[in-house]
Amino acid sequence: MANYFSDNQDLLFHFEKLDLREVVDFLEENYSQSKKFNYAPVNYQDAKENFKRILEITGDIAANYIAPRSPSIDDEGATFKDGKVQYAKGTKESLELLSKAELMGMILPREYGGLNFPTTVYMMATEIISRADASLMNIFGLQDIGKTVAEFGNTAQKQEFLPGFASGEYTGAMALTEPDAGSDLQAVKLTAYQDEKGNWFLRGVKRFITNGNGEVLLVLARTEAGTKDARGLSMFVCYGDKTIKVRRIEHKLGIHGSPTCELQFNDTPAQLVGQRRFGLLKYVMYLMNRARVGIGAQSLGIAQEAYEQALNYAKAREQFGKPIYNLPVVSNMLIDMRVSLEAFRSLFYDTCVWLDRKEMLEQIVEKLKLEKKPVAELNERLKEATKYLNLLTPLAKYFLSEGANKICYDSMQIHGGTGYMHEFGIERLSRDARITNIYEGTSQLQIVAASGGVINDVFNDHFNECEKKEYKGSLINLLSVLKEIREMFNDCLKYIKEKKDPNIQDVASKDLVELYGYIYTGFLLLDEANDDQRKVFTARRYILDALTKARKNAEAIKNELYSDILHADTILI
Amino acid sequence: MKKNSIVMVKQVPDTANISGQVMKEDGTVNRAKLPAIFNHEDRVALEFALQIKDKFGGKVTAITMGPPRASDVLRECLFMGADEAVLISDRKFAGADTLATSYVLAETIKHIGGYDFIFAGRQAIDGDTAQVGPQTAEKLNIPQITYAEEILEVGESSVKVKKKIEGGYEILESKLPVLITVIKDAAFPRPFQAKRIMAYKNAKTLSELEKLTEGNSLLYIDQLRDEYESRNLYIKTLTMDDLKLDESRCGINGSPTKVYKVESVVLAGGNHEMIPPTKEGIGKLIDHLLADHILG
């Protein structure tokens, strides 16, 4: 039987390579949890065996239960009638099965019914689910809502909400966006007020809320009357009860199974999560960064499926007396798709491991501080991890979501006219992919978020280390290519800094961020190729292709391609 | 009103995934090349038992007779929710037909005792006989309902079951204990549960524990078994001697069925004949079918 985990050789490659020992040692409190829970691992090896087995059943359910339902989920979509949101039949069935399999609380603590897995493993599951049905990921992926309550809620809140999330009884929603506060969340207006007893209530409107019909909502609201920026915003948790009116659901291009709601809060009772005024600055940032990583997994799943469909179709479709797979133009496109897919996966799981590492360090430092123990060394590591992650998260989201769109585009091209028809899956995948580079921050915003780290060249030391490593055979040539790209980057960076024109800097940062991404990903692939013969092909195609792209990026910057934005009003008639 | 169930399960070759290497030249099956799976209808049988447990409480015990590697399906039973699993395994069981198999299973069920329901799949996909369930019931001298689609009602000492028959269904009532065989579409088996997978992945049969002791003189099998038992990870293993069985009724000795010949039937295309959709054509088709003994 098909299995989206065990059949996916590249995912297996990354799983085997995964080193989360430090993170898992920490999460398992040095495996003392195994004394309390018969399903907790007794050592790291045992934990890894657990992860593998759970990913195997996820892969089985995804391939054999969810994937066959995805065309009907797309056709039927979530519906809205008499003020109530209904999932498509397939969505409902899939969620029920995932709940029965106990996969809805993968990252929640065991004491509340969760599996206590690291985020990286959860992201592998998310990739697998997204491949089967991208829209289902929008609900499966909301496990982060529970995780946020687990991180920042008080004990009573954890006891109240987490068991329901872990069992799948509750699905969540994060209610952030408003009609006038999209990319600019500082402008959130929904108000939270207290009665004389100190109970909080919410009043106002939220828009584009994924799964806004969920049982439990995290809401960003203004608690400090008269403020206009992020410092007046706090985070709340509330039930999706009758005080919250779903006004409508959106008719979208893709991810039809995921209901996108407009919500009206009519004095909804709510509980404050964490501290006042840290809503956006701390908690939403935490949630958003995780959600961005989640979209990376969704993009990867969609891209994997688009590639598989293109490959199968190319092998089955005969023209000119042979399968089109045998036409060099087609096989070359397939290689491009495959190589980008593998490069994205390397970048993605590297990012996930940094996320796990950073959250671990954060918790250790916090704990040591409470115990008044020295934290200097760990703090250094935390600072470094935070710096890396602040760059890697938007970089990965940017590359993966744009890349998924490109892979879908090429896959449809290989399908020819057939692929344009609704009957074939690639049409749906293309529509589903299109949201990934828009929501949770558009690609343009990811560039902005990444550019700080790029301009400060945060991987400078890391790249220097990479350059010193010993590489085998032909990889030495590829190393020199990466060095060349690095020189181009340094050159461009200097040029832009000297330019001192913020408008040009803004526009050019896309080229700069991409250049940086090529170098980082290139080194990841070079490392993999050093250990795995087949990966030499991946590294070669990626790095040589990166060189041609890098030249284009560098030329654009240095030839002042963008200087005409000063004349935008004249050009844009 | 707790109700205990025993579920008879079987590990079978995955006949849906037969590749080129699986059939030997003499037309027999190379089992080593075939992936072994949980017989689907037996998973449905386990689902029935678990639903009864969910509703009334009680215990679910899964049993299988098979070679050591059949422990895989028993672990899967634990992953789905079975409370206990028992492997009945002995070299002397080899070559058993349905008569010998049902003898061993019936004796095992007597040995376990304390049951209200025995569930089994209608048939296994390797033998397709559908005989083991009914024969076991006969040997236990309890009522049986085959081809069950749905349990309609469970009373203190009776059960009402909807049974599939050709072109419709029957509703039957039986006393407890009863043996029920279920059909493929009767229920959708629940998935393996993540926590149970992690908890029971290391559950082991006696022979698997013996393997651990091989080459390690510090490990004693009795101690190891006690340790696994205390952690709820021991898959009880019963042999012919444990069950005090009559050797002449076990395995090949107790099996009157003899395989005469195994033929590899190759369905060759190419030999087709166009029959026009006319009265004459239909007449000709019927003549053909009569001549081939497909009709009449």
| Least confident window among A417-421, A512-516, B144-148, B285-289 | B285-289
Say yes or no for a CB contact (<8 Å) between A54 and B197: yes
Q: What fold does the segment set A172-277 form as a domain?
A: Butyryl-CoA Dehydrogenase, subunit A; domain 2 (2.40.110)
Q: Which two tokens stand for residue A5?
A: 């985990």
Residue A501's pLDDT is 81
Interatomic CA distance for residues B94 and A198, integer angstroms: 75
> CB distance B194–A103 less than 8 Å?
yes
- Mean pLDDT to the nearest integer, B227-240: 93
Q: Is pLDDT larger for residue A63 or for residue B132?
A: A63
Alpha carbons within 13 angstroms on the beta-carbon side of residue A287 total: 31
Residue A382 in contact with residue A362, Cβ under 8 Å? yes
Q: Are A41 and A47 in contact (CB under 8 A)?
A: yes
| Nearest alpha carbon to residue A356 among A35, A72, A47, A100 | A47
pLDDT at site B219? 79
Select the residue of B17, B192, B199 nearest A39 (Cβ to Cβ): B199
Interchain contact, A102 vs B232, CB within 8 Å: no
Average pLDDT, stretch B93-116? Answer: 93
Place of tokens 């526009």: A507
CATH node for A279-452: 1.20.140.10
Comparing alpha-carbon positions, the chain A residue that sits nearest to B200 is: A39
**Residues contacting A182, CB < 8 A, separation 6+:** A208
Which residues of A fall within a CB distance of 8 Å from B191? 57, 61, 97, 100-101
In this structure, of A277-281, A398-402, B193-197, B286-290, the range with the lowest mean pLDDT score is B286-290
Q: Looking at residues B34-58, what average pLDDT do you find?
A: 94
> Which chain A residues are within 8 Å of B195, Cβ to Cβ?
39, 102, 115
Please check whether residue B19 touches A, CB under 8 A.
Answer: no
Tell me the nearest-neighbour CA distance from A114 into chain B, angstroms. 9
Say yes or no: B191 contacts chain A, CB-CB below 8 A: yes
Strands A322-323 and A233-239: unpaired
**If residue A165 lies in a helix (H) or strand (E), which one and from where to where?**
helix A155-167
Q: Is residue B168 a part of any domain in this protein?
A: yes
Contact at CB, B197 and A41, closer than 8 angstroms? no
Instruction: Quote the minimal CA–CA distance from A115 to chain B in Å.
Output: 7
Helices (H) and strands (E) in chain B — how many of each? 8, 12
**What is the residue type of A560?**
E
Residues of chain A with pLDDT under 50: none
pLDDT band at B18 (very low <50, low <70, confident <90, very high): low
Give the pLDDT score at A489. Answer: 97
CA angle A528–A534–A540, rounded 5-degree value: 70
Q: Which residue of chain B comes nearest to A47, CA vs CA? A: B198
pLDDT tens-place string over residues A538-547: 999 999 999 9
The reply to whether B23 falls in a domain is yes
Query: What is the rounded distance in angstroms from the CA atom of residue A361 to the CA atom of residue A17?
Result: 22
Contact list in A for residue B199 (CB cut-off 8 A) is: 38-39
**Other CB atoms within 10 Å distance of the CB of residue A289:** 21
Picking from B84, B85, B78, the residue whose alpha carbon sits closest to that of residue B199 is B78
Amino acid, single-letter form, for residue A214: G
Q: Is the pTM of this model over 0.90?
A: yes
ipTM of predicted complex: 0.91
Q: What is the DSSP letter of B32?
A: G
* CA proximity to A515, closest of A549, A481, A473: A549
Which of the pair, B239 or B124, is modelled with greater confidence? B239
Tell me, what amino acid is at A15? Answer: F
At A222, is the secondary structure helix, strand, or coil? strand
Nearest to B197 by CA among A61, A52, A168: A52
Q: Return the higher-pLDDT residue of B35 and A254.
A: A254
* Interchain contact, A53 vs B190, CB within 8 Å: no
Instruction: Indicate which of B37, B198, B227, B232 best probes the interface with A, i.e. most A CBs within 10 Å of its own CB.
Output: B198
pLDDT, tens only, A232-253: 999 999 999 999 999 999 999 9
- Structural domain contains residue B278: no
Among residues A440, A470, A484, A555, the one annotated as catalytic is A440
Residue B235 lies in a domain: yes
Residue B110 has pLDDT above 90, yes or no: yes
The answer to whether the beta carbons of residues A378 and A361 sit under 8 Å apart is: yes
User: What pLDDT, on the 0 to 100 scale, is given for residue B209?
Assistant: 92
Q: Do A38 and B199 touch (CB under 8 A)?
A: yes
| pLDDT at residue A545 in the model | 98
B266 lies in some domain? no
Residues A345-379, buried b or exposed e (16+ Cβ, 10 A)? bbbbbbbbbbbbbbbbbbebbeeeeeeeeebeebe
Range of the structural domain that residue B215 is part of: 5-254
Q: CA of A39 to nearest chain B CA: how many angstroms apart? A: 4
Coil/strand/helix, residue A168:
coil
CATH level 3 topology of A1-170: Butyryl-Coa Dehydrogenase, subunit A; domain 1 (1.10.540)
Residue from the list B17, B194, B201 with its beta carbon closest to the beta carbon of A101: B194
Residue that is written with structure tokens 């899956």 in the block: A425
CA-CA distance, B132 to B106, in Å (whole number)? 10
Of A38, A101, A115, the CB nearest to B191: A101
**Distance to chain A for B136, nearest Cα, Å:** 32
Q: Where are the domains of chain A?
A: 1-170, 172-277, 279-452, 459-571
Distance CA(A3)–CA(A24), nearest Å, equals 26
Report which residue type is found at B81. G
Check pLDDT > 80 for residue B238: yes
A101:B193 CB<8 A: yes
What is the structure's pLDDT at B24? 65
- In chain B, the number of structural domains is 1
| C-alpha–C-alpha distance, residues A312 and A338, integer Å | 13
The interface residues of chain A toward chain B in range 90-149, judged by CB-CB distance below 8 A, are 97, 100-103, 115
In B, minimum Cα distance to A37 occurs at: B199
Side-chain half-sphere exposure of A264, counting CA atoms within 13 A: 6
Q: Would you say residue B27 has pLDDT above 60?
A: no
* Contact flag A102-B201 (C-beta cutoff 8 Å): no
Residue B195 has pLDDT above 70, yes or no: yes
**CATH assignment of the domain containing B223:** 3.40.50.620
Kindly indicate whether the domain formed by A459-571 is annotated with CATH number 1.20.120.470: yes
A440 is catalytic: yes
Residues of chain A with Cβ-Cβ distance to B187 below 8 Å are none
Beta carbons of A259 and A251 less than 8 angstroms apart: no
